[in-house]
Amino acid sequence: MKRPIATLTRTNEILTEYGLSAKKNFGQNFIIDPTVVEKIAKNALLDKETAVIEIGPGIGALSEQLAKYAKTVISYEIDTDLIEVLSHVLKEVENVEIIHQDFLTVDLNEIVKNLRKTHKKVVLCSNLPYYITTSILLKVFQCEEKIEAITVMMQKEVADHFFLQPQSRDYGAINIIMESGFAVERVMKIPRTVFDPKPNVESAVLRFTAKENRAPSRNRERFFELVKACFKQRRKSLLNNYENYLHDREMAKKILVAANLDTSLRAEALSLEQFLNLFEAEMNERERYEK
């Protein structure tokens, strides 16, 4: 039987063969425990009609497991040196496609739309590069096309953030944006020892599952802009941030009042529902104005 990539011996063999070592600037920490990659893949809601988008395949440890359960795996890797490694290591795995690209520059809507033509479901799975966790997740949560599930490993403290409630000091735009489209659950905690090199932090795997009905159902891009604008300067009141966004203090006040919101609140006090009320009040006002 073929030896899995996710062991210390195999990882060292592969890196030595290509004269490589893990690059800190790309957040490279390779998983060296086969049971962990297997468990992540099993939790990614895969089946043989599903396409899975992977971010940062590294030397292919998780990719080879994803390929077992999915119809297609599309993996985006930024590191030029790893492209050749991946094409050799995964040469017998026919359903993996490696794309040499910074994931932050891909047109995710277009990719998901195309995959959906030939697959029943599109999901995403990754042992994320920790230095860009938030940028990646914000991009994925804001994708217009439906992504059924996002199963990702991240730093434990970052994972904990997704379970905060309004009023918490660190509750932020990403919480509202996530919650507008996904439900979150913990899959497992991961100790530092399953990586090579070992990161300084503990990790956790979370799964975000798409909600049946996203809210708002239309003009989502505009909604996300509004949410981000309200959190732009965290120490400022909702009214001040909103005024900066609309460039009109009176209008900002009028809309907040129409949405039943106290103008002295800060953005972190608002629930998703209250943000949706604000958005609706704003859309009503815009309609009135445009008439």
Q: Which range, of 29-37, 142-150, 239-247, 255-263, touches ligand SAM by CB under 6 A?
A: 29-37
Which residue among 10, 14, 28, 181 contacts ligand SAM (CB under 6 A)? 28
Non-local (6+) Cβ contacts of 205 within 8 A are 40, 43, 151, 152, 153, 159, 186, 187, 188, 190
Residue 162, phi then psi, degrees to nearest 5: -75, -5
Calculate the CA dihedral of residues 112, 116, 120, 125 and round it to 10 degrees.
-20
Residue 113 Cα to chain centre, angstroms: 17
User: Is residue 132 within 8 Å of 27, Cβ to Cβ?
Assistant: yes
Site string for ligand SAM, 68-97 (x = CB under 6 A): --------xxxx--x---------------
Which residue among 14, 33, 45, 56 contacts ligand SAM (CB under 6 A)? 56
Q: Which range, of 22-30, 172-180, 221-229, 240-248, touches ligand SAM by CB under 6 A?
A: 22-30
Which residue among 52, 61, 154, 178 contacts ligand SAM (CB under 6 A)? 61
Work out whether 34 is an interface residue with ligand SAM (CB under 6 A). no
Q: How many chain residues are in contact with ligand SAM, going by CB under 6 A?
A: 23
- Of 15 and 210, the one with the shorter C-beta distance to ligand SAM is 15
- Of 27 and 181, the one with the shorter C-beta distance to ligand SAM is 27
List Cα–Cα distances, 23 to 6, 252, 272, in angstroms: 17, 47, 39
* Distance between CA atoms of residues 66 and 47, nearest Å: 10
Work out whether 55 is an interface residue with ligand SAM (CB under 6 A). yes
- Of 175 and 203, the one with the shorter C-beta distance to ligand SAM is 203
Strand order in the sheet with 203-210: 96-100, 72-77, 50-55, 121-127, 149-155, 203-210, 182-190
Q: Please calculate the CA angle 81-86-90 and round it to the nearest 5 degrees.
A: 170
- Give the SS3 label for residue 252: helix
Pick out residues in 127-166 that bind ligand SAM (CB under 6 A): 127, 129, 132
Least distance (Å) between residue 83 CB and ligand SAM:
10
Work out whether 18 is an interface residue with ligand SAM (CB under 6 A). no
Q: Binding residues for ligand SAM, per CB under 6 A?
A: 26-31, 55-58, 61-62, 76-79, 82, 102-104, 127, 129, 132
